[in-house]
Structure 1
Amino acid sequence: MLEVNKVDMFFGGLVALKSVNMTVPKGEIHGLIGPNGSGKTTLINVITGFYAPTAGEVIFNGKKISGLAPNVISLSGLGRTFQNVNLFPEMTALENVMTGYCVRTGYNLASAIFETRRFKREEQEAYEEAEKQLEFVGLIGERDTLAKNLPYGKRRLLEIARLLATDPQLVLLDEPVAGMNEQESEEVAQLVHKMRQEDNRTILLIEHHMKFVMSLCDQLTVLSSGSVIAEGRPESIQNNEEVIACYLGKRR
């Protein structure tokens, strides 16, 4: 589903990514790990169009997407969350998720002002989709709660619900359990499994929580200083001496 081919990303004299290759098959939960500053978020920003790579290309479903605008990439079926929760605090949970569905609507400003038949139909569809996704992530009971009044863990789930309303084929989760306790992390892990099993979505996630990553992912790609140093199944990555040295600063 996703191919990253020899991607470089330079910021002036800073080499953020160097000849990065990564493949994510359809239906896989794929982990992208590495120490702070290894280039993980930069790579996600390249994949989702926030940065155009200095060299190389990103292929999604057989089509080149590197260099396209983020909204165009989103409409192609690739969506993401961010390290920091970024919701509309004065809007309800339901309204926040409805904004995700808006990328799939086709009405214009005039239709909204005059409340045309198309506008009313698509607004109803957005309402129904938002309720569906809130139910999916376990937040239907919070549908009328302002986002700013939700506890941190539920705000994370709300962000995922809003993303799912865009109907992505590939879901990119940037540190989805950062700042969560073990119970909250387990809820997110169950949700990720549910996204694959019930919605047939492919997931690429960045995470520092090693227990979460190792128990959840089918394959892992490890970055260090902007380069891939290891790829494989979690059990092989755990025993990879270069990965151990990268994280611990020494070999066993």
Structure 2
Amino acid sequence: MVEHLPVLNQAALDSDWGPAYLSIVPASLYGDVSARRHAFAVEGLNWGIRLSEPQVTSALVNFLSPTVFTDAGPRRCAALVRALYRAAGRMDERLRLDPLLATPGTLEVAAERRTGDRRIDIAIEWFDGPTTDKTSRRLVLIECKFDHHITSKQLPAYRQYAQRQTAEGGYALFLLLDRLTSRTTRSIARNKDWQPVTWLAVLRYLEQELIQEPDEGVEDFACLRRTIWNMAKNRTF
């Protein structure tokens, strides 16, 4: 909000908080809500059913895919990674985990990615450099939860997979939650290398990060984000 201080100061002097200031608040929190590409500008899916967790993650991966959306896919992946870090209140201190730095043709996004005898909900993987060994591999693993608990040994298994696939600092782990329970809190306490974030926080930051998104499938993607938002906002944290 620092950049808005001149407007705030003038509003205080004038004892008039609208309309100049009122337009700043939603923009700073949710991005440009007037844009047709924004999730709040469209209606969510209204099929009379609640999407399952695998349906949500599979649909999200479709819109992130650089194979399906050649121009928009990589930018959406990068926007999601930035949104995840912002929602977690963290930074990629080594500035290594940026899908836009991927060696051409190496960026992959997968739902239900096999990691040994388990499957991670979303995996974003690419190589950054001239080689294809673990020192150049980058990996972002996202375990998503809608109406499900974390199962025993789930998070350690995914972490071990990431450590086997990359060199130090080459991966990030995010736990994307629709709600917090005592069981989830205990799991987070035992797995401190996982960054817990909420769907609502990630979606809010994602709207801000998608301002420069190309127009490939933009309205359908916005519809999906609105659907997920509607699902998440009805959960109790």
TM over 0.5: no
Structure with higher strand content: 1
- What's the TM-score, normalizing by structure 1? 0.31
- What's the TM-score, normalizing by structure 2? 0.32
